[in-house]
Structure 1
Amino acid sequence: MTSSWINNLDNITMNQCSTDSNSSTRCSTQGIDIQCYLILESNTQKIFIAIICIVMGALCILENILVLCMIFTSVRLRKKPSYLFISSLATADLLASLIFSYSFIDFHVFHGAGTPSVFLFKLGGVTLSFTASLGSLLLTAFDRYICIHKPSSYKLMVTRKRALLALTVMWISTTIISYLPLMGVNCCDLEVTCSELFPLIGNKFLSSWIVLVVILLSAIIFSYSHILWKAHRHTSYMKKHNIQAEKGQARVRLDIMLTKTLALVLIVLIVCWSPALIIMIHSLIYTLDAKTKAVFAFCSTLCLVNSMVNPIVYALRSRELRRRLIRVLRKLKCLKKPSESQDSQEANGAGRNLAFEATGDDTLCDTEVSI
């Protein structure tokens, strides 16, 4: 079945590609005409893309698995709403690294697509993972926003039950949206203009998804910008009035750390998502040439970079997770040492662990204002 359209690839040229939904090859039930979407022209580009996806995908998988293990092996952390949001983010990024890397290499390097249903199922998985990642980022941003702007009522407003409800609604809604093309909302069933970038995807659905992503990104940027502005204003106030108290100086250091982290968050979001979104929007207005499509392939991998950076920015910069990681590493180190010294080391380690737990119990924000 798949070979029926692979044998015809050499007979179709790029200038014969059409986005007309009535095209028999584009909307065939036996296979997909993918010639128009094979945007990597040389073997060098294919090898380079494969290496990028494999390396970044592997790092992304390891990082997010580490984050999930750190959270779910700690009874205290997995009960906190903030770490539920981070767990959702890590899960979405883990899915993105697995599904995107496999699908991207299979399609653009090995020219594998399968039947329309199989292709739309895989594309829906990619869409779901990246959309859920942005949704998790938005919930994390709102969590931080409430923590900074309404600290006195934070624990009353952001409860574990509400966090689970928000995550459930987010995952269900993103799943439905992502698999709409598989359920019939595609350019063939609706007989609308097909996208130049994604097989079987209509321009109307693509434009709607772009609007959704832009709204999510704008809300994230808005939330973090306000947090950034408040942190900057508080730091300026402390310096202007020359407040030298120990508590005041500690707050200034926290504000500076928060400012650096949020600036990094905004830079990562803009750098990773803007290029791909700009080309998608451009494809809705103008016809794309082969070079622009090749550029889009490399820009798409930046979204995978975002999933690789998220664990570092959102999880490993958290004090509690760093402490958790240090404790695990210390335990692993103790296993390699002689058994006679192990008991004393574990006793000392237990004391340090209790101290660590105590420092985190009274913090207002679950992630200790690290993001």
Structure 2
Amino acid sequence: MTTEQSVVSALTYNGTPTAAGGFDGEYLMRYMVLNEPEKKILSLICVLTGPVTFLENILVLVVIGTTDNLRKRPTYLFIGSLAAADVLASSFFPIIFLDFHLFKRSDSPEIYLFKLGGVTMAFTGSVGSLLLTSMDRYLCIYQAPRYKSLMTCRRALFGIVALWITTVVISFLPIFGWRCWSASLCSLLFPYVAPLYIGCWVGLMLIVLFLIVGAYALILWKAHQHEAAMEAPTAGRSTMGRHARMRVDIHLAQTLGLILMILVLCWVPSLSIMLIDVSRKLTINEQRAFAFCGTLCLVNSAVNPLLYALRCRKLRRALVNLLRRVCGVCCRGKPVCVCLQNKDGDVKKYAETVSESLDKQNPG
């Protein structure tokens, strides 16, 4: 396209004249930069990761929702909020991503910004839920005597509701008017989105990540002190109970620390490219790289429930009990069910032992 043609096309949108610097009929094409091999790779990642992420997080929500002992504890309410955000991410991101890059759908600005708002809401809610979880763990370790009075279920629910209201408002600001009205002033990562909005959103995410990192740094430092204390010879039942509580806190801190590390590894590449987009014009290669980095955020949503199942004993025990109940309903005493129960005998016994220890240190 020549310079003259570019100027003319910049004055038209869907075949009708617009103000200078408006959107032409080919405006969205500048964002569809992937070649065929890249489309196939990203499509494969989305098709494989999306459904798996959805099913994993639905399972986490079901386990928490059907276990009375879990849904009454703030920690697992925050984990449920995180799982809900990841369910939304696995629903919105793959469909919208493939629809845009693979099928080249050209929506109106309002429809596109509404779809983008859904993705932004999911990922913002995910990061925000991790912030609530880290604050919960911080209070549990540094304010242990007052933890139950400080972090009640009512306050946890209030925090979750406040988080999601704030998330919805922030995510849909572009559709309410905070957008670019000229193609030359728009981001090269997201159509119709103003770079200032991206800069503010990235800044907010960096602040949240900084707070999470700070909380976990203090938690892990405390965990190191606990480990040193446990190595010293001790006696007495009360001391053993205190050390049992320390082990639980350390284990959960390490679990959430691992989640945080994966979150940072998955998000830093995307946030870095978004900051570059705010400061200068991106190259096509940088636009392509961002498409791959975006899928890392979906991978993070897929990894989170695996960490819960493998490292969170309370959730693992609840999952085993849920599967046993489902098996009992489906099999009605058939041999396959008896076989499964026999195989799970040791797991159940171990889970009950862990549960008793947790119930002693967290009654009710």
TM, length-normalised to structure 1? 0.82
Change in Cα spacing, 1:133 to 1:262, as seen in structure 2 (3 Å) is closer
SS of the equivalent of 2:185 reads coil
Q: Relative contact order (alpha carbons < 8 A, sep ≥ 6): 1 or 2 greater? A: 1
Of 193, 196, 209 in structure 2, the residue corresponding to residue 217 of structure 1 is 209
Q: What is the deviation of 1:361?
A: 2.8
Of 105, 108, 116 in structure 2, the residue corresponding to residue 112 of structure 1 is 105
Of 354, 358, 362 in structure 1, the residue corresponding to residue 360 of structure 2 is 362
2:331 aligned with 1:336: yes
SS of the equivalent of 2:174 reads coil
Change in Cα spacing, 1:338 to 1:129, as seen in structure 2 (3 Å) is closer
Q: Distance in 2 between matches of 1:261 and 1:77?
A: 17
In the alignment, is the contact (CA less than 8 A) between 2:137 and 2:253 conserved in 1? no
Q: Distance in 2 between matches of 1:201 and 1:337?
A: 56
The aligned residue for residue 168 of structure 2 is 175
Q: Distance in 1 between matches of 2:293 and 2:2?
A: 26
**Percent identity (aligned):** 41
The aligned residue for residue 27 of structure 2 is 33
The aligned residue for residue 47 of structure 1 is 40
Of 292, 308, 315 in structure 1, the residue corresponding to residue 286 of structure 2 is 292
The aligned residue for residue 132 of structure 1 is 125
Consecutive unaligned residues of structure 2, counting only runs of 5 or more, are: none
Change in Cα spacing, 1:26 to 1:38, as seen in structure 2 (3 Å) is farther
Consecutive unaligned residues of structure 1, counting only runs of 5 or more, are: 1-10, 367-371
Q: What is the deviation of 1:79?
A: 1.9
In the alignment, is the contact (CA less than 8 A) between 1:145 and 1:227 conserved in 2? yes
In the alignment, is the contact (CA less than 8 A) between 1:53 and 1:301 conserved in 2? yes
The one-letter code of the counterpart of 2:362 is L
- Give the number of the structure whose residues are more often helix, by fraction: 2
Q: Distance in 2 between matches of 1:211 and 1:155?
A: 33
Q: Distance in 1 between matches of 2:292 and 2:53?
A: 17
Aligned pairs for 1:133-282 within 5 A: 133-188=126-181, 193-239=185-231, 241-243=232-234, 247=240, 254=248, 257-258=251-252, 260-282=254-276
2:87 aligned with 1:103: no
In the alignment, is the contact (CA less than 8 A) between 2:21 and 2:184 conserved in 1? no
Q: What is the deviation of 1:293?
A: 1.1
In the alignment, is the contact (CA less than 8 A) between 2:141 and 2:249 conserved in 1? no
Root-mean-square deviation (CA), in Å?
3.4
Q: Distance in 1 between matches of 2:64 and 2:41?
A: 35
For 1:328-359, what per-residue CA distance to the aligned partner results, in whole angstroms no more than 9, with x for missing partners?
222344443646997xx79x99x969877644
Change in Cα spacing, 1:163 to 1:192, as seen in structure 2 (3 Å) is farther
The one-letter code of the counterpart of 1:292 is E
Change in Cα spacing, 1:130 to 1:12, as seen in structure 2 (3 Å) is farther
Q: Distance in 1 between matches of 2:25 and 2:81?
A: 35
Change in Cα spacing, 1:12 to 1:332, as seen in structure 2 (3 Å) is farther
Change in Cα spacing, 1:21 to 1:266, as seen in structure 2 (3 Å) is farther
